Amino acid sequence: MYNVRDNVQASLGHFRMENYWFRYSNFVPRLFNWCVELGFEPGKIMPSRAFCSDESQGYPVILLAKHFGIFPFNHGQVGGIMACDRHGPHAHHGKDLVIVHSSHVGYDPEAMTFGSYRRIQTANHRCSSNCGKIHATLEWYLREYEFACQNIFVDMRADHCRLTLDNQYLSRSRERSLVLHLEKMVEHQHDGEMLPIAMQSTSRTFMATDAFFSTCAGFSTKALASSRLAMPCCRNISPTTPACGKTPTGRANWSKT
């Protein structure tokens, strides 16, 4: 039986899934073989899926049943949220336990975009958001992200760059907003204050940090070479992590200064 006291990271080794695509038909048998390699006993493994209730999730459920030899337990709620209060019943149903937790995003091969799914049971086979709950959750973040992409600008110079930030991102009274990593983006004084080098009616301009300038230098060279004109600082206001470069749709606008 798999020892829960084992070092999980040591078992994983250098295994990574980032930037790799697995068909479910390849992923599930690999998952089963890996469980056996870890010490799980075939025929005593109780899988569970934490998927959304969406009808598009039938195929992975069938594959789990095929390779693990039992129909999987259900940890899933709408939106792919895991029902943690089901751990107890799940544990009561098997010796070795596996939970596969994932959301579903959908893909439109004609538009080559993620997020939609063709509902073939509808009258017109229309496409809709593959997971309405995830779409509704992300909508606010994407709208804020797009606004930030159009209201934060980088002015690239030979040996430095300047950042123009909309006043909304400098106000501490905003109740809801994307939060900028200003300590990584803007030069601070010894007392921690940020002194603008220019003030406009709706924005302020600051000197950017050396690290920020180095990060953006490569982007500016490529963009100017391709004759694009305006550079909003986009990846620095990502909903998750800061950096500098493209919008969620891949656009990058640049401007000469």
- Provide mean pLDDT across the span 104-128: 79
Residue 168's pLDDT is 82
Residue 245 has pLDDT above 70, yes or no: no
Distance CA 61, CA 120 (A): 19
Banded pLDDT at 79 (limits 50, 70, 90): confident
DSSP reduced 3-state for 65? helix
- Provide mean pLDDT across the span 156-165: 86
Banded pLDDT at 18 (limits 50, 70, 90): low
Residue 50 has pLDDT above 80, yes or no: yes
- The size of the chain, in residues, is 257
85 vs 236: which has the higher pLDDT: 85
Strands (E), 51-186: 73-74, 96-101, 107-108, 113-114, 116-118, 127-129, 152-156, 161-166
Residue 69 has pLDDT above 80, yes or no: yes
Instruction: Specify the amino acid at residue 153.
Output: F
- Provide mean pLDDT across the span 200-224: 77
pTM over 0.85: no
- Provide mean pLDDT across the span 179-199: 84
Task: Supply the Cα-derived Rg of the chain in whole angstroms.
Answer: 24
Lowest mean pLDDT among 70-84, 105-119, 147-161: 105-119
Q: Say if residues 249 and 231 touch (Cβ distance below 8 Å).
A: no
Residue 219's pLDDT is 65
* Highest mean pLDDT of the ranges 61-70, 234-243, 246-255: 61-70
Long-range pairs for 54-57: beta carbons < 8 A, 24 or more residues apart: 54/104, 54/117, 54/130, 54/131, 55/121, 56/104, 56/106, 56/117, 56/130, 57/104
44 vs 77: which has the higher pLDDT: 44
Residue 42's pLDDT is 93
Residue 126's pLDDT is 77
Instruction: Specify the amino acid at residue 16.
Output: R
Q: Give the Cβ contact number of residue 47 at 10 Å.
A: 25
Distance CA 26, CA 33 (A): 11
- Provide mean pLDDT across the span 96-116: 82
Q: Which positions ≥6 away from 169 have C-beta within 8 Å?
A: 148, 151, 152, 177, 178, 180, 237
